[in-house]
């Protein structure tokens, strides 16, 4: 029993060390350059101009970009988790899947759109009485009414 406990403690220490090293690799930036964020199958670059966000899909070996007319604010929160990338502007949430090498935008219509959440297999955001979901293998957002449970037709 004591050796089993010792083994479990060792595994816990190894996992904590691996997570710590991975977290240190996650974000590289400076005032004079753009920044990049990496995870298992995705690399995201936000250049100094902040008018493009480029994502590299390891499984597809291609880059995909989102372009903006005006620079994104410095406080934009880009989240990378495994195969998924997400960030939110005042009016939209953007999602990228490394599995499909696809960026998708979901416009938000609520008076106070909620923050997005990036999990292992999906990105979700609540917008009033609608919940939007973007899965790891998605090429488009999906939505469901929180009032009726009906799937929404999104274009």
Name the CATH code of domain 34-152 (choices 3.40.50.740, 3.30.1330.10, 2.40.10.480, 3.40.50.720).
2.40.10.480
| C-alpha–C-alpha distance, residues 78 and 22, integer Å | 17
| C-alpha–C-alpha distance, residues 35 and 42, integer Å | 14
All structural domains of the chain with their residue ranges: 34-152
- Confirm if 48 and 54 have CB atoms less than 8 A apart: no
pTM over 0.75: yes
pLDDT at 90: 85
| C-alpha–C-alpha distance, residues 115 and 108, integer Å | 11
* Interval 93-102 mean pLDDT: 96
Instruction: List, in sequence order, every residue forming a beta bridge with 87; answer none if it has no partner.
Output: 94
The CA radius of gyration of the chain, in Å to the nearest whole number, is 18
43 phi and psi, to 5 degrees?
-130, 130
Per the listing, tokens 């995705």 go with: 42
* Nearest in space to 47 (alpha carbons), one of 17, 78, 88, 19: 78
15-69 pLDDT, tens digit per residue, is: 333 332 333 234 444 445 788 999 989 999 999 999 999 999 999 999 999 999 9
Average pLDDT, the chain: 81
């Amino acid at each position: 029993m004591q050796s089993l406990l010792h083994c479990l403690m060792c595994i816990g220490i190894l996992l904590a060390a691996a997570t710590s090293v991975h977290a240190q690799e996650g974000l590289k930036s400076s005032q004079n350059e753009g920044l990049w964020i990496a995870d298992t199958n995705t690399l995201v670059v936000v250049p100094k101009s902040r008018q493009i966000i480029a994502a590299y899909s390891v499984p597809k070996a291609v880059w995909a970009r989102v372009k903006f007319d005006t620079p994104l604010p410095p406080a934009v929160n880009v989240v990378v988790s495994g195969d998924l990338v997400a960030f939110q502007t005042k009016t939209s949430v953007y999602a990228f899947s490394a599995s499909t090498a696809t960026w998708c935008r979901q416009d938000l219509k609520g008076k106070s759109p909620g923050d997005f959440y990036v999990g292992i297999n999906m990105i979700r955001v609540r917008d009033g009485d609608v919940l939007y979901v973007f899965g790891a293998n998605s090429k488009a957002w999906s939505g469901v009414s929180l009032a009726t449970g009906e799937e929404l037709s999104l274009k």
